[in-house]
Amino acid sequence: MESIDKMTRVDIIISFIRYEMKRAIAKRKVLALLAFTILLDTFPYYALSTATNGTGFIPLAAYPYIWVAGVFGLQPLFLNFTAILIAAGAMSEEYEQGTAELLLSKPVRRNDYFAGKFLGGFILFLIILAFNILLSVGSAFTFFGPQASLEILPGLFIVQAFSSLIFYSLAFMLGELVRRSSLAYIFSSAVFFASFIISGYLGLIFSLTGKEFYGTVQIYLPTSPANSLPVQYASPLLPQTVGIVLRFVGADNTIVPTIELSVAILLAYTLVAIGVAAGYFWYADISRRMG
C-alpha cells in the first residue's frame, strides 16, 4: 500500500515536471533562449575562424581545444542568466495567472508540486546546457577541425549544471517570495550582476592593496564558485595549450582557492535558497490572481 502511494507521488511529481516544462515552452522564453544559444555557439566560431585564418593568432596546437571557448565562455553570463530566466517565473507566473490555485486545490502535497516545478524548470535548463555544449563542439569541429579531450564533456556537463544551481535556486526562491515574475527577474538579475560587478571591484582592490578581507569577501560572492568550479574541474584534465583559449574567453582564473570550497559555497547557497523557498511556500497562503 505504501509502495503504491510512493508510486502515485512519483507519478504526480512527474506530471508536474511535464507540466512545468510545457508551461515554460509555451511562454516561448525557452525557444528564445535556444535561438540565442544557437547564435552564441555558431557565429563567434565562424567569425573567429574567418578573422584568424592564417594569421597565427590562435596557435594550431590550440585548434583541437577550441570547443572550450564556447563551453566555458557562456557559463559566466549566459548560462547563469538562462537559469535565472527559467527559474524566476516558475512559481511567480502561476500566482500571477491564478493557475496555482486550481492545481493546489487537489489532494496533492505541496512538496510534490514544489519538487515538480523546481525539477521541471531545471530539466529545461539542462536541455539548454546540453545543447550549448553540443553546439559548441559541433561548431568547433566545423570551423577548426577534429576536437580533442571530449571525454571530459559528461563530467563537465554535470559540473556546469551543479554550478548553475546557485542562481537557479536563488531565482526560484525570489519568484516564490515576491510572487511577481517581473520583480523576481529584476531582483535575481540584480543579485547576479551585483555579485559579478562587486567581485570585479573586490578583485581589483585586493590586487592593489593586498588586503585579505577583500579577497575573502570576493570568494564568497555567489558568482565566484559558480564560475570557478567548471574551470577547477576541467583544468587538470586538459593540456596546458588550452590556457590560451580560456584566456581568450576570460575564464582562465579561478577565484575560489579549492574545488571543495567551491562545492561547499555552491551547496550552501543552493540549499538555503531551496529551504527558504520551500518553507515560505509551505507556510504562506496561496495567493489569488495578481497583476
Partner 1 sequence: MSNPSSQGPSVLQFQNTVKDYGSKKIGPVDLNIGKGEIVGFLGPNGSGKTTCMRLMLGLIRPSSGNVRVNGYDPISKHVEALNHVAYSPELPNIQTFLTPTELLTLVLHELGFQGDKQDEIRRVLELVGLIEYRDTKVGKLSKGMVQRLSVAQALIGSPELLILDEPMLGLDPAGSAHFREIFREFVMGGKGTVFMSSHMMNEVESLCTSVLIIHSGRILFRGSSSEVIRKVLDYSVVTVEAQGLQQETINSIKEMPNVSQVTINNQTIEIIIKGHDDIRPALSDLIVKSGAKLYTIKTADNMMERAYIEALKKNGVDR
Q: Which of 54, 55, 56, 106 binds partner 1 (CB under 8 A)?
A: 106
Q: Pick the stretch among 144-152, 212-220, 232-240, 281-289 that binds partner 1 (CB under 8 A).
A: 281-289
Q: Mind giving me the DSSP string for the chain?
A: -HHHHHHHHHHHHHHHHHHHHHHHHHTTHHHHHHHHHHHHHHHHHHHHHHHHTTT-SS-GGGGGGTHHHHHHHSIIIIIHHHHHHHHHHHHHHHHHHTHHHHHHTSS--HHHHHHHHHHHHHHHHHHHHHHHHHHHHHHHHHHH-----GGGHHHHHHHHHHHHHHHHHHHHHHHHHH--HHHHHHHHHHHHHHHHHHHHHHHHHHHHH--HHHHHHHHHSTHHHHHHHHHHHHGGGS-TTHHHHHHHTT----SSS-HHHHHHHHHHHHHHHHHHHHHHHHHS-------
159-198 residues near partner 1, rule: CB under 8 A: none
Q: Which of 3, 50, 55, 105 binds partner 1 (CB under 8 A)?
A: 105
Say how many residues touch partner 1, by CB under 8 A: 27
Task: Show the site string, 4-43: x = touches partner 1 by CB under 8 A, - = not.
Answer: ----x--xx-xx---x--xx--x-----------------
Q: Pick the stretch among 91-99, 164-172, 222-230, 271-279 that binds partner 1 (CB under 8 A).
A: 91-99
Q: Which of 43, 59, 61, 109 binds partner 1 (CB under 8 A)?
A: 109
Minimum distance of partner 1 from residue 240's CB (angstroms): 50
Interaction between residue 280 and partner 1 (CB under 8 A): no
265 vs 256: CA distance, rounded Å: 9
- Please report the sign of the dihedral spanned by the C-alpha atoms of residue 62, residue 131, residue 254, residue 78: positive
Interaction between residue 289 and partner 1 (CB under 8 A): yes
Interaction between residue 205 and partner 1 (CB under 8 A): no
Length of the chain: 291
Q: Pick the stretch among 74-82, 105-113, 171-179, 214-222 that binds partner 1 (CB under 8 A).
A: 105-113
Q: Which of 152, 198, 249, 286 binds partner 1 (CB under 8 A)?
A: 286
Q: Pick the stretch among 82-90, 148-156, 267-275, 278-286 that binds partner 1 (CB under 8 A).
A: 278-286
- Which residue's entry shows cell 593540456? 239
- Please, what is the angle between helix 2-26 and helix 80-97, to 10°? 100
Minimum distance of partner 1 from residue 123's CB (angstroms): 17
Minimum distance of partner 1 from residue 86's CB (angstroms): 16
Q: Pick the stretch among 99-107, 159-167, 251-259, 262-270 that binds partner 1 (CB under 8 A).
A: 99-107
Q: Which of 38, 77, 103, 268 binds partner 1 (CB under 8 A)?
A: 103
Site residues for partner 1 per CB under 8 A: 8, 11-12, 14-15, 19, 22-23, 26, 97-99, 101-110, 283, 285-286, 288-289
